[in-house]
Amino acid sequence: MKKVMLLGAFFLSALAIQAQSVDEIVNKHVEAMGGADKYKNLKAIRMQTSTELMGQSLPTTSVIALGKGMRSDVTVMGATISQGYDGQQGWMINPMQGSTAAEATPAELNASMDVQLDITGPFYNYKEKGNTIELLGKEKLDGADVYKVKITRKNGLTETQYLDAATYMNRKTVSVLEVGGQKNENETMFSDYRAVEGLKFPFVTQMTHPQFGTMKMKVDKLEVNPVIDETKFKMPK
């Protein structure tokens, strides 16, 4: 009985250490990104970016309002592809497929876009948001030490982030999204962090997608809390 009690105490102690380590890493990450006070006042962002894909440079304008909606418009070969989400329904207009009418996106993609509405990130106030964070250990990424952290969102979607052990900024995210019964693993690398209105944002993002290959996105301009027209998030009739 004494051995059982000692073993139970050991596991409880290990869990306490794990929780303490997670919260310590979370707090240092939030502080490195600008701090809780800055995140508290973040309501929206607007980005103008250039994405390199299959030899083309695609200019894109994206707007996200915290918890309300988002929209992106990308120019491809003179045509504009628009995608939006109003917090409930996602949609897309893709003239490259011969249609100028808006079409609703699958529910699985709606869940993914819902995650993107949290521009404060999964770590800030993660318990209040209903997120679960688990420290999976420490390893090397391109020769640097990183913390491997698993995040389970309130809606059930999961992702793994690799936080730099020196700067506590996210260097890589691996996420899994199931669409039409098929699971796709997406890998995104982040670099060139810059401060805008006291908050840090990655100005270079490299995404590896199983269908589209590698896409490299560079931020040309980023605005914090711009005046936006939220009606643009709704699916056009």
The reported pTM is 0.86
The reply to whether CATH 2.50.20.10 applies to domain 2-233 is yes
pLDDT at residue 185, rounded to an integer: 80
Is residue 91 within 8 A of residue 105, CB to CB? The reply is yes
pLDDT at residue 12, rounded to an integer: 47
How many other C-beta atoms are found inside a 10 Å radius of the C-beta of residue 122? 23
pLDDT at residue 8, rounded to an integer: 52
Distance, CA of 16 to CA of 11 (rounded, Å):
9
* DSSP letter assigned to residue 232: G
Q: What is the mean pLDDT of each run of 10 residues along the chain (237 residues)?
A: 49 47 95 97 97 85 97 92 94 87 88 92 96 95 95 92 97 82 84 98 89 86 97 93
Across the chain, which distance is largest between two alpha carbons, in Å?
Answer: 75
pLDDT at residue 54, rounded to an integer: 74
pLDDT at residue 176, rounded to an integer: 79
pLDDT at residue 15, rounded to an integer: 46
3-state helix, strand, coil in the chain (%, to 5): 25, 50, 25
Distance, CA of 38 to CA of 57 (rounded, Å):
33
Joined tokens for residue 62: 């994206």
Characterize 179-209 residue by residue with b for buried, 16 or more Cβ atoms within 10 angstroms of its Cβ, and e for exposed: eeeeeeebebbbeebeeeeebbbbbebbbee
pLDDT at residue 211, rounded to an integer: 66
pLDDT at residue 108, rounded to an integer: 79
Question: Domain ranges in the chain?
Answer: 2-233
